[in-house]
Chains A and B, each alone.
Chain A
Amino acid sequence: MSQSALAVELKGIWKRFPGVIANSDINLKVTSGTVHAIVGENGAGKSTLMKILYGMQKADEGTISINGSDLVFNSPSDAIDSGIGMVHQHFMLADNFTVLENIVLGSEPKNGIRLDFAKARKQISDIAAENGLAVDPDVLVSELGVGDRQRIEILKVLYRGAKILILDEPTAVLVPHEVDELFNTLRDLKKEGLTVIFISHKLDEVLSIADEITVIRQGTTVGSVNPHTQNVSARDLAEMMVGNELPTPDAVGDTIQDEVVLKVENLSVFAKGGKAIVDDISFQIRAGEIVGIAGVEGNGQAEILDALMGIESASGRVQFKDEDITNKSTRHRRELGIGFIPEDRHRQALMLEAPLWENRMLGHQTKAPNAKGMWLTPRSAKADTKRIVEEYDVRTPNIDVLASALSGGNQQKLIVGREMSGEPKLLIAAHPTRGVDVGAQAAIWDHIRHARQSGLAVLLVSADLDELIGLSDNIKILLRGKFVADADPATVTPQELGTAMTGAGEAA
């Protein structure tokens, strides 16, 4: 191994935030030309460490050395100059720009003073072809699903000449075949001599792609394993991360009751041009039942959920228990006891610049414990926020910190805790455990199963097929806005489901 040079070496990195130490004495060695995975619980300090390596945040102490030379990064542009590129946990593309514009944004190709788009287009298609990253440069980003957005983020980074690629939870919302495509790309990049640092909570994936895995626990590196030479299982990894054994979720039997909680008839959502994004779907959910929707992102999931919450206008009929809520406001629906975990937590579920306890009120600001009549009741809202923080194991110094200070997974736990509060009758959830570590994921599943026993109906959209199969009583396969088939979670395998979702199973 002595011939292998180090692409990145981090020594003694410390980073403190108010009330938490995000990184304490982290040491990390990444060999050039490998895929190096970093795993750890929510809030372990992974994203922070990567932001330091990318020059977005400054370490309090410690040194960064790239290809053997010690460097100081004052901004991402310094890091980019040293050949480092990063794709963030939360995408940062501009919706109303085309793919091409997004890629060149910030490093515009110049020809004299004119922007030389022709040259950029050529360069991009070269890079894309070399690495098997097919994209159409002229479509608007707002029209693309997450898989495509991901590819664009990677292209954008490669276009800037990155030789060391940081991917923060790139697979969190990808379905299996998209993950396979991504991994093929990564293998190609590796062949080209690039180095990839990869963060993920999906330990099986980590084991399949990584050449080396570093485990971070409570802000410090607790060990490194090489999956090629050492025999490690996902369970071993998880236990290294948590420091003790994983809890096992207890299975619950059939809890479906007779009462129909949600009844949807002929629901359609149309795009601006008149094209149906959701095309005439009908289904119902009974109390204690979990209905899962399987589908590649961008086939209408987000629109179905928004339509059911009254955020997006739709045609058709929606009935909640005995009430026709087709034309009811979002607020009215929430007051009836419909909880909502939206797909995009930063845009839809949080006020990043507000303290946690105010975020506890969001979406529930008309009911106890947050309000009484027209008056807010901050004291009881704060008390209840403390309860959520404890029950859902949100890692935070206190409830007065801003939501933006929480790690991605901890933000998600807070949102889930909030939406499960007040005994909702119906939970509409998109990727409820997105970005949540394995331990917390099991805990969230437990919470959902538990609530379901007392009659909660759930509509579940998830890219995590194990989650979908493990929780649902009934799975509907969504393709281009239509339910094309049902799957029985008792018998279907993730592979079969994955195939059916892409439409390959349609003929069969």
Chain B
Amino acid sequence: MNLRRIGTSLIAPAIGLFVSLAVTAVILVAIGASVSTVFSSMWNYGTSPRAMSLMLNLATIYFLSALAVSIGFKMNLFNIGVNGQYVLAALAAAVVASNLTLPKVASVSITIFVAMFVGAAWAGISAWLKVARGVSEVISTIMLNFIAIGIISYIIVRTPIGTETSLNIRGTKAIPETGMLRGIAFIDPGTQIYGFFFIAIFIGVAYWFLLNRTRFGFDLRATGKSATAARTSGVQSNRMIYVTMLLSGAVAGLVGLPYLLGDTGSYTLQFPTDWGFIGIAIALLGRNNPLGIALGAILWAFLDISSGQLVLEGVPREISTIMQGLIVIVVVISYEVVRRYQVKSEQTSVAKALAKQEASV
């Protein structure tokens, strides 16, 4: 019974993958490329030790972003503002870390705390607007994304916090090596896997426990399932909005850190600013379930990393973006189809079982 459920929950993503591969193949044929060479070169590159290491690093970032989004999703709270929350958090973390001269453990802990705090605070504005003023969090978080980007550009371009970095681009002062959390190279000797990879796993497990094994998690899920019933059961809905939004923001605050502390060491104007949106797509793919999100993040990262190969084969790299979009759509649809099929098949098997019972009585 349980095995069957797990089986069917894997069918949907499998269908999604298969259909999007098929559609991509059609597109490739249409633009006159060789399907087999393109796919095999993506696969060969994607499974090389170096690419796998890069993939895990990117997946770590996506995973954190999707977790932040899905905490809100669980209670029908749509935090579209992960982008704004993590860029501000990363900037604040970069500024603080570059001014610390402490041993690694202390320095990194403080940096993490600062990032989570800033992410939570930025998300907290939306929570406050929702509770006190009735503003939809969808709107306020989107607006706060723009504001965050604006603030960051101002700080880096116009204030002394921004300087010319060694990369010939304006950014924050470099973080000393004691403040970095680089990682270890265990797949490819030349590529380190972010230390945050392990932190992300820990956070994924903690997320599962929080949601499924604590009273708070129950209150949160109950609010998502029926706000009125949750309220009658004693859940204080305003408090829930605050706590959930702050938690979501705190996790969002971590999104930029793997890259900041594991790679650049400085927040520059080139710091990516769209990981929050990718998180939304992956949260949908993974159905707000940490394991599903992890798989979704790895798949997404694989397509990102191996898309570089497309160019080598003379195919536009946007093909991989198309595949990503296709996968989300097809998976969401096939989840629904599979669910219906599952109900049907269960019905017939149960009815058969009951009929047999009756006959033997």
Residues in A lying within 8 Å of B, measured CB to CB: 16-21, 309, 311, 329-334, 340, 342, 347-354, 358, 361-366, 371, 374-376, 378, 397
Q: Beyond A351-B226, A374-B216: 18 further Cβ-contacts under 8 Å?
A: A19-B346, A20-B350, A311-B232, A331-B234, A331-B236, A333-B234, A348-B228, A350-B226, A352-B225, A363-B232, A363-B233, A365-B218, A365-B219, A374-B214, A374-B215, A376-B214, A376-B215, A376-B217
Q: B234 contacts which chain A residues (CB < 8 A)?
A: 329-334, 363, 365-366
A30 CB, nearest partner CB in chain B, Å: 27
Q: B233 contacts which chain A residues (CB < 8 A)?
A: 330, 334, 362-365
Per-residue A-contact encoding for B285-296, CB less than 8 Å = 1, 0 else: 000000000000
Asked whether B350 lies within 8 Å of A18 as measured between CB atoms, the reply is yes
| Cα separation A374 to B221 with both chains bound (whole Å) | 15
Asked whether B351 lies within 8 Å of A21 as measured between CB atoms, the reply is yes
Q: A353 contacts which chain B residues (CB < 8 A)?
A: 225
Asked whether A366 lies within 8 Å of B236 as measured between CB atoms, the reply is no
Q: B218 contacts which chain A residues (CB < 8 A)?
A: 358, 361, 365, 371, 376
Q: A17 contacts which chain B residues (CB < 8 A)?
A: 347
The verdict on B348 contacting chain A, using a C-beta distance below 8 Å, is yes
The verdict on B343 contacting chain A, using a C-beta distance below 8 Å, is yes
Q: A329-B236, A365-B215 are in contact. Are A16 and B350 (CB under 8 A)?
A: yes
- Nearest A residue to B353, CB-CB: A19
Residues in B lying within 8 Å of A, measured CB to CB: 212-219, 221-222, 225-226, 228-236, 343, 346-348, 350-351, 354
Asked whether A397 lies within 8 Å of B213 as measured between CB atoms, the reply is no
7 shortest interchain CB distances as A-B pairs: A331-B234, A363-B233, A351-B225, A16-B351, A348-B232, A330-B234, A18-B346
Asked whether A340 lies within 8 Å of B232 as measured between CB atoms, the reply is yes
Q: A309 contacts which chain B residues (CB < 8 A)?
A: 232
Q: A16-B351, A311-B232 are in contact. Are A347 and B226 (CB under 8 A)?
A: yes
Asked whether B213 lies within 8 Å of A18 as measured between CB atoms, the reply is no
Q: A358 contacts which chain B residues (CB < 8 A)?
A: 218
A191 CB, nearest partner CB in chain B, Å: 41
Tell me what chain B mostly uses at the interface: helix, strand, loop, or mixed: helix
Q: List 13 A-B contacts (CB under 8 A).
A: A331-B235, A334-B234, A348-B232, A350-B226, A352-B225, A362-B222, A362-B230, A364-B233, A365-B215, A365-B218, A375-B213, A376-B218, A397-B350
| Cα separation A351 to B74 with both chains bound (whole Å) | 14
Asked whether A16 lies within 8 Å of B347 as measured between CB atoms, the reply is yes
Q: Which of A18, A21, A342 contacts B232 (CB 8 A)?
A: A342
Q: A347 contacts which chain B residues (CB < 8 A)?
A: 226, 228-229
| Cα separation A19 to B348 with both chains bound (whole Å) | 9
Q: B214 contacts which chain A residues (CB < 8 A)?
A: 374-376
Q: B231 contacts which chain A residues (CB < 8 A)?
A: 311, 330
Asked whether A362 lies within 8 Å of B229 as measured between CB atoms, the reply is yes
Asked whether A354 lies within 8 Å of B225 as measured between CB atoms, the reply is yes
Q: B348 contacts which chain A residues (CB < 8 A)?
A: 16
B304 CB, nearest partner CB in chain A, Å: 34
Asked whether A18 lies within 8 Å of B347 as measured between CB atoms, the reply is yes
| Cα separation A371 to B233 with both chains bound (whole Å) | 14
- Nearest B residue to A332, CB-CB: B234
| Cα separation A187 to B218 with both chains bound (whole Å) | 49
B352 CB, nearest partner CB in chain A, Å: 10
| Cα separation A20 to B222 with both chains bound (whole Å) | 27
| Cα separation A363 to B219 with both chains bound (whole Å) | 10
Q: B212 contacts which chain A residues (CB < 8 A)?
A: 376
Q: Give the most central of A333, A365, A366, A378: most B CB within 10 Å.
A: A365
- Nearest B residue to A373, CB-CB: B215
| Cα separation A353 to B222 with both chains bound (whole Å) | 10
Q: A350 contacts which chain B residues (CB < 8 A)?
A: 226, 229
| Cα separation A311 to B230 with both chains bound (whole Å) | 11
| Cα separation A310 to B238 with both chains bound (whole Å) | 15
Q: A18 contacts which chain B residues (CB < 8 A)?
A: 343, 346-347, 350
| Cα separation A375 to B218 with both chains bound (whole Å) | 10
A51 CB, nearest partner CB in chain B, Å: 16
| Cα separation A75 to B148 with both chains bound (whole Å) | 49
B357 CB, nearest partner CB in chain A, Å: 11
Q: A352 contacts which chain B residues (CB < 8 A)?
A: 225-226
Asked whether B213 lies within 8 Å of A351 as measured between CB atoms, the reply is no
- Nearest A residue to B209, CB-CB: A375
B170 CB, nearest partner CB in chain A, Å: 46
Q: Which of A311, A363, A375, A378 contacts B215 (CB 8 A)?
A: A375
| Cα separation A504 to B343 with both chains bound (whole Å) | 54
Q: Which of A19, A311, A332, A363 contacts B350 (CB 8 A)?
A: A19
B257 CB, nearest partner CB in chain A, Å: 28
Q: Which of B215, B229, B347, B354 contacts A351 (CB 8 A)?
A: B229
| Cα separation A329 to B214 with both chains bound (whole Å) | 20
| Cα separation A349 to B233 with both chains bound (whole Å) | 8
Asked whether A330 lies within 8 Å of B232 as measured between CB atoms, the reply is yes
A341 CB, nearest partner CB in chain B, Å: 10
- Nearest A residue to B233, CB-CB: A363
| Cα separation A132 to B214 with both chains bound (whole Å) | 55
Asked whether A21 lies within 8 Å of B219 as measured between CB atoms, the reply is no
Q: B343 contacts which chain A residues (CB < 8 A)?
A: 18
- Nearest A residue to B217, CB-CB: A376
